[in-house]
Amino acid sequence: MTDAAAPRITAVVETVLYVDDLARARRFYETVLGLEAEVSDRRFTAYPLGPGSVLLLFKRGETLAPVTLPGGTIPPHDGNGPLHVGLGVPSEDMGAWEARLAAHGIPIEGRTEWPRGGRSIYFRDPDGHLVELLTPGVWTVY
């Protein structure tokens, strides 16, 4: 049997973090990181991050039942434990990000300089998720 080539996947469009306190998480992502919510309700908040990319914060335990919308149904989902998300930033803004995190009392847990020239800094959000800010030059595609 010959296996046909898989259709293309072109991007990760949504990245999800599950949080215990949605209001607390929103304060962090909006105040510290300066994100602006596109849509929000008691279960989740969506932050557009640039062309074709959205960060979703879901209140842990609030998506365990299917959600029926006029256009279809979203199956149940949830997550536990500290996760990792990498957010792209311009190289020239890394120093400003380090200063902003310091001004908000957010400790940087790690720094990495990558072989392709990119740089990363790592810190935690209020739910213990590891947030990485990374510049171009980390991956062949970024």
DSSP 94-112: HHHHHHHHHHTT----EEE
Average pLDDT over residues 65-84: 94
Residue 11: per-residue pLDDT: 87
Phi first, then psi, for residue 117 (nearest 5°) are 105, -10
The whole-chain average pLDDT of the chain stands at 95
Q: Is the pLDDT of residue 9 over 90?
A: no
The domain segmentation of the chain, as residue ranges, is 14-63+81-134
Residue 70: per-residue pLDDT: 95
Q: Is the pLDDT of residue 91 over 60?
A: yes
Among residues of the chain, what percentage have pLDDT more than 90? Answer: 92
Whole-model pTM: value is 0.92
Residue 82: per-residue pLDDT: 94
Strands 53-59 and 14-19: parallel
CATH superfamily of 14-63+81-134: 2,3-Dihydroxybiphenyl 1,2-Dioxygenase, domain 1 (3.10.180.10)
Average pLDDT over residues 5-12: 88
Distance CA 49, CA 133 (A): 12
Q: What is the pLDDT of residues 108-137, one digit of tens each?
A: 999 999 999 999 999 999 999 999 999 999
Strands 119-124 and 110-113: antiparallel
How does residue 1 score in pLDDT terms, banded at 50, 70 and 90?
low
Distance CA 105, CA 10 (A): 37
Residue 10: per-residue pLDDT: 86
What 8-state DSSP symbol labels residue 79?
Answer: -
